[in-house]
């Protein structure tokens, strides 16, 4: 009888007087039975301590030592696009405008915030942070990100017509091209970088025996920033072929005054922590669910895997 009364009240949302009529007992008996159900543990009532985005932003900044951060309540859908507004707020607060150099990496998060719209900032130079990839997936179309972002910002796009990965000989040839040289020279003048945090593509432990030395090292990878892999503690993890990449270097990212990671995925918490500890990221735009996962992992409550 206790279970039935508890289910009718707490699951079916039935009033006590209606339960009494249904079961042919008094409302006083229903009340006593509900109290007993709580006392013996049939019913447990938990009060969730809701944390505001402002509170979790402050906690996130303290936990990671960030220069700045913006955290939004996790929406039911379209979370990546919803990050565009707080990202725009950070860009305007930074005073980026005429003459500023703003770099964009590739990835789904960056694509979604660009599609959602960025605020007008002035005659900034907008530049890709890495070469392209021979893939049809829209989140790899780095020059299109730059074109659209420059149009929204009101700045000038600088395209990079080169692959992100090639042979060493071809890399040298691309880097000698005047238009490529002009674009990548801007990486030393970055005022702001906007990048996603990638999930690691390291081999599974069961495959490690057949992997190269660098692939084995990537087993420790927590994530990547424009294909620069990092461990949870912030160590950079070199991989075979990295020297053939055409992309802003970790040193150039570290020298960038405002390097913003855009992420909305609790699974990327370890990658975010590693990216910040590496120095390649100093600012974060995210949602409350991801922010809490990051804080929990730092405090030892989360699962690094």
Q: What tens digit of pLDDT does each residue of 84-138 get?
A: 999 999 999 999 989 999 999 999 999 999 999 999 999 999 999 999 988 889 9
Q: Where are the alpha helices (DSSP H) in the chain?
A: 2-6, 16-23, 27-39, 53-64, 79-82, 84-93, 108-116, 142-153, 168-175, 178-185, 213-217, 250-255, 269-278, 288-298
pLDDT score recorded for residue 198: 93
pLDDT at 207 over 50: no
53-298 in CATH: which number?
3.40.50.1360
Q: How far apart are CA 302 and CA 269, in angstroms?
A: 9
Q: How far apart are CA 214 and CA 247, in angstroms?
A: 19
Which of the pair, 6 or 278, is modelled with greater confidence? Answer: 278
Kindly state the average pLDDT of the residues 247-262: 98
**Left if phi > 0, otherwise alpha if psi is -120 to 50, otherwise beta: which for 48?**
beta
How many separate helices (H) and strands (E) can be counted in the chain?
14, 9
> pLDDT band at 217, cuts 50/70/90?
low
pLDDT score recorded for residue 5: 83
pLDDT score recorded for residue 241: 84
């Amino acid at each position: 009888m206790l279970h039935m009364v508890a289910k009718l009240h707490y699951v079916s949302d039935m009033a006590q007087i209606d339960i009494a009529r249904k079961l042919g007992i008094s409302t006083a008996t229903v009340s006593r039975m509900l109290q007993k159900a709580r006392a013996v543990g049939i019913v447990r009532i938990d009060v969730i301590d809701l944390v505001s985005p402002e509170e979790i932003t402050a906690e996130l900044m303290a936990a990671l030592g960030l220069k700045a951060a913006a955290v939004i309540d996790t929406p039911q859908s379209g979370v990546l696009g919803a990050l565009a507004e707080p990202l725009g707020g950070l860009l305007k607060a930074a005073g980026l405008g005429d003459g500023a150099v703003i770099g964009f990496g590739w990835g789904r998060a960056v694509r979604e915030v660009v599609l959602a719209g960025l605020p007008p900032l002035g005659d900034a130079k907008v530049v890709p942070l890495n070469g392209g990839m021979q893939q049809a997936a829209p989140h790899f179309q780095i020059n299109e990100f730059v074109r659209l972002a420059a149009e929204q910002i009101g700045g000038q796009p600088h395209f990079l017509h080169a692959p992100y990965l090639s042979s060493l000989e071809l890399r040298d040839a691309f880097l000698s091209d005047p238009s490529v040289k002009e674009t990548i020279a801007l990486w030393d003048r970055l005022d702001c970088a906007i990048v996603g945090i990638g999930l690691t593509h390291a081999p599974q432990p069961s495959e490690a025996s057949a992997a190269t030395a660098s692939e084995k090292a990537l087993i420790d990878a927590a994530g990547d920033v424009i294909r620069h892999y990092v461990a949870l503690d912030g160590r950079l993890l070199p991989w075979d072929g990295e020297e053939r990449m055409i992309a802003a270097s970790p040193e150039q990212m570290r020298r960038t005054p405002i390097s913003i990671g855009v992420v909305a995925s609790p699974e990327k918490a370890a990658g975010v922590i590693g990216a910040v500890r590496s120095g390649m990221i100093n600012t974060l735009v995210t949602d409350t669910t991801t922010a809490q996962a990051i804080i929990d992992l730092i405090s030892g409550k989360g699962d690094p895997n």
